[in-house]
């Protein structure tokens, strides 16, 4: 699909939203040599207060997300069981659901396709979240920069799970007309066998989850998840995914996004600070 002028529009709106919905008053900033230097430093420098720089934080975020199952308790295991049950339920219903989608093709669905596809497509989502991160970096806006970094980490962690799963499963897409039980292990490098898991759904729900948690306003939450829902809907409308693909991908995005945001709350960096009055040990909680 060629890049048209609407493709990055959702992310330009999100950038504007992030830079204006910060919980703390930001005031007006002028991007000068000092702020540019601070922006560069924040990416890879060793912080004097012992906190992680952005590269370290990215590694922590992704690692925290990928190792989350090792920290699951009985409640988490029950939720995981519910997700498996939901996926199986979707698997049993998806032939009927596909028929319903194919019978209800409409100009409205075609128009919605532009929004839903763009929001979850990696070729647009990745530049979009980088735009948010760089916007906060250049403007010296820590809230927006950290939000952008969480979004980048969410997409990276989701991709580490989704891409190998897709290749290993080798599930035929609905439009291949091979049925919903046709799997070719390790055959998912072929596009017609890249159905499970829906990467577009994982991206859309991952982005909306992080932004909803960061903005923390009910109206924003409703709007963001409504936008995310358009992605699996239009992917199924295109006959590119089965219902279970879209369901599992959506849940994956929600889980990864929440784990990464929660990981920031659980993060307790320890470091040594040096000041004119002496050397001290800092512990943040």
CA dihedral 90, 237, 10, 124 (to 10 degrees): 90
Contact 161, 167 (CB under 8 A): no
Pairwise CA distance, residues 83 & 87, whole Å: 6
Who contacts 10 (Cβ-Cβ below 8 Å, separation ≥6)? 115, 118, 119, 128, 227
Upstream peptide bond of 42 is cis (omega within 30 degrees of 0): no
pLDDT of res. 283: 37
Which of these CATH numbers, 3.30.70, 1.20.120, 1.10.3470, 1.20.144, describes 9-283? Answer: 1.20.144
- Quote the longest CA-to-CA distance of the chain: 74
Cα 252–chain centre separation: 9
Question: Could you give the CA distance from residue 79 to residue 151 in angstroms, rounded to a whole number?
Answer: 24
Q: What percent of the chain has pLDDT over 90?
A: 72
What are the pLDDT digits (tens) for 204-254?
999 999 999 999 999 999 999 999 999 999 999 999 999 999 999 999 999
User: Which one, of 57, 221, 82, lies nearest residue 150 by Cα?
Assistant: 57
For helices 107-120 and 9-20, what crossing angle results, to 10°?
60
pLDDT tens track for 251-266: 999 999 999 999 988 7
| Token pair for 44 | 């890879």
pTM: 0.81
Burial class (CB in 10 A: 0-12, 13-18, 19+), 124: buried
Give the DSSP H or E segment for 153.
helix 142-169
């Amino acid at each position: 699909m060629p890049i048209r002028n609407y493709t990055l529009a959702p992310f330009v709106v999100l950038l504007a939203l992030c830079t204006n919905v910060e919980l703390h008053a930001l005031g007006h900033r002028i991007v000068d040599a000092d702020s540019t230097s601070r922006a560069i430093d924040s990416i890879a420098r060793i912080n004097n207060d012992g906190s992680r720089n952005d590269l370290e934080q990215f590694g922590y975020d992704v690692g925290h997300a990928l190792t989350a199952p090792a920290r699951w308790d009985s409640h988490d295991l029950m939720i995981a069981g519910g997700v498996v049950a939901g996926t199986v339920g979707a698997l049993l219903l998806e032939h009927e659901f596909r028929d319903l989608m194919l019978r209800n093709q409409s100009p409205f669905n075609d128009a919605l396709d532009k929004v839903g596809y763009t929001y979850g497509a990696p070729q647009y989502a990745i530049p979009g979240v980088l735009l948010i991160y760089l916007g906060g970096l250049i403007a010296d806006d820590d809230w927006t920069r950290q939000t952008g970094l969480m979004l980048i980490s969410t997409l990276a962690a989701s991709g580490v799970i989704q891409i190998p799963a897709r290749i290993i499963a080798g599930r035929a897409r609905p439009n291949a007309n091979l049925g919903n039980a046709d799997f070719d292990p390790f055959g998912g490098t072929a596009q017609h066998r890249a159905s499970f898991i829906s990467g577009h759904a994982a991206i859309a729900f991952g982005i909306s989850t992080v932004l909803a948690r960061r903005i923390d306003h009910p109206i924003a939450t409703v709007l963001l998840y409504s936008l995310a829902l358009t992605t699996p809907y239009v992917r199924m409308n295109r006959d590119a995914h089965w219902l279970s693909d879209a369901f599992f991908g959506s849940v994956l995005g929600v889980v990864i996004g929440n784990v990464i945001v929660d990981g920031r709350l659980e993060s307790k960096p320890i470091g040594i600070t040096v000041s004119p009055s002496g050397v001290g040990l800092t512990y943040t909680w």
